[in-house]
Structure 1
Amino acid sequence: MNNPTPTLGPGDLQPGHSPDAPRGFVARLRNYFLTGLIVAGPIAITFYLTWWFVTWVDGIVRPFVPVAYRPETYLPFGLPGSGLVVAVFALTFLGFLTANLIGRSLVELGEAILGRMPVVRAIYRGLKQVFETLFSSTGSSFRRVGLVEFPSPGMWSIVLISQPPNLEVATRLPGKEEFISVFLPCAPNPTTGFFFYVPKSKIIEVEMNAEEAATLIMSAGVVQPNGDAQKKVNALAEMANAARVATASQIPPTPAKVD
């Protein structure tokens, strides 16, 4: 007896139909979207932050620029960045004036006036020291990166190494070991964190600059320093291994010696 040919139901596979076709098409669309997001996301955020900074500086500087010297007075549209240009020239000119005797005298006079204000004095001196430390061409603060065992034994955190403590603090720290101040940035916002003194022997310095450390912290470890170089090294190692395997496969086997 001949077996009857089975009939295909609506949910069964039809000839020439692949169950992975719709899933593969959707997966490709998703990959294309994620690829576009990876490419456009950093560019869009960078342009947004740049635009925010430029407009913020324009909003501060523009009220001090006379109307006759504003670009929008002569143009039918506003010119973003004009305030930033004025600010750069003004700061450069201020630095030029400060470099001579008259400028230094005016700065000393202003500092003397601020030094007589109880609350403003502390704020000004602290901010001045921070700016002198960060923007000094010879300073070493926050230019070295290290590892500190924090928050518990066996867990290591990235820190920016700063300066040794002053005499008052150093004499009150326990032990005779030399201490140094460090700043531990928090992820993903490295502008906040913890400041503390740690023994110098407890810090492991790493070959990494402050910019690479900030990138590592902001990305929560996703973007590793020298990632491209590591990828190239791995690729070269794989190529060498593949060439070694190919060479070994082309060598004919040595015939066994018969006595």
Structure 2
Amino acid sequence: MDEDKKKSFTEQISSSFFKGLLIVVPPAITVFVVIWLFNLTENTIGKYLPAKLPGAGLLIVLVGIWIVGVLSGNFLSEKILGFFDNIIGKIPVVKFIYKSVKQVSKALFESDSMFKSVVLVPYQKSYVMGFQMLTVPEPIKAKLGDDYVCVYMPWSMNMTAGMNFFVKKSDVIYLDMLPQDALQFIVTAGTISTAGMMPTDLEKLKANGNVQS
């Protein structure tokens, strides 16, 4: 009995630690990479500029990221990214985090993604914003029936973590928003305007006291 308790306690610690890694590592890596690129460009390209331009490194980093996006469909860039994927795919733990972040990013930013639409669903006498998934897993559908949809709710300030809810279709409010706009609203903790919502849905929420004017 004591051995089972010790094993359960150890498993809980391991599980919590791994969840912590999933939450902390992606944004930490992102911040580290951006700072590293900023310092690299400031120290290399910046010294060749005719005058000291504050923020030139950041501007170069942003333009560089934009160029990568433009060239993302290029054959050569796909080969390079494929080579990078293979290297990352051989590193324990890192490969899982990388693949998870990549899948979430693709789901949010590709037109044929697994996310069907942006929605609001009831949660603890309020509403939360999320993304309706294209399908409900068959084992769950077999138990709940066809009246439920799967909604993924990302956490504020961290798009790589969140929860899945199975909600009745009648309780779902659909929003006229692009996934990218909804993601901005969520990860910035609501500092982005709700102007992208459908007016009828906003009025409905205001009437229920869930959205402030």
Give the TM-score, by structure 1 length.
0.46
Shift of 1:94: 2.8
Letter of the 2:96 partner, please give it: A
Q: Following superposition of structure 1 onto structure 2, how do residues 96-115 of structure 1 map, counting pairs within 5 Å? A: 96-115=70-89
Please give the residue correspondences for 1:81-230 in structure 2 after superposition, counting only pairs within 5 Å.
81-139=55-113, 141=115, 143-148=117-122, 150-151=123-124, 155-164=125-134, 167=137, 170-172=138-140, 174-177=143-146, 178-183=148-153, 190-191=156-157, 195-209=163-177, 214=185, 218=190
Counterpart AA for 2:46: R
Q: Provide the TM-score with structure 2 as the length reference.
A: 0.54
Question: Structure 1 residues 101 and 73 mapped into 2: Cα distance closer, same or farther (>3 Å)?
Answer: closer
The answer to which structure, 1 or 2, has the higher relative contact order (CA under 8 A, 6+ apart) is 2
Structure 2 residues without counterparts, runs of 5 or longer: 1-31, 201-213
> Mind listing any 5+ residue stretches in structure 1 that lack a counterpart?
1-55, 231-259
Residue 69 of structure 1 corresponds to 45
Does the Cα contact within 8 Å between 2:150 and 2:166 map onto a contact in 1? yes
Structure with the larger strand share = 2
Change (3 A) 1:165 1:88: same
Match in the other structure for 2:4: none
Per-residue CA deviations over 1:4-44 (Å, capped at 9, x if unaligned) read xxxxxxxxxxxxxxxxxxxxxxxxxxxxxxxxxxxxxxxxx
Partner amino acid, structure 2, of 1:91: I
SS in 2 for 1:116: coil
> How many residues get paired?
158
1:147–1:205 contact (8 Å) kept in structure 2: yes
Q: Is the 1:144–1:161 Cα contact (8 Å) retained in structure 2?
A: yes
Identical counterparts, % of pairs: 15
Rounded to whole Å, the distance in 1 between the matches of 2:86 and 2:33 is 29
Q: Which amino acid aligns with 1:195?
A: M
- The answer for the alignment partner of 2:36 in structure 1 is 60
* CA distance, structure 1, for counterparts of residue 170 and residue 134 of structure 2: 14
- CA distance in 1: counterparts of 2:157 and 2:66, whole angstroms: 27
User: Which one has the largest radius of gyration?
Assistant: 1
Query: Conserved in 1, the CA contact under 8 Å of 2:116 and 2:134?
Result: no
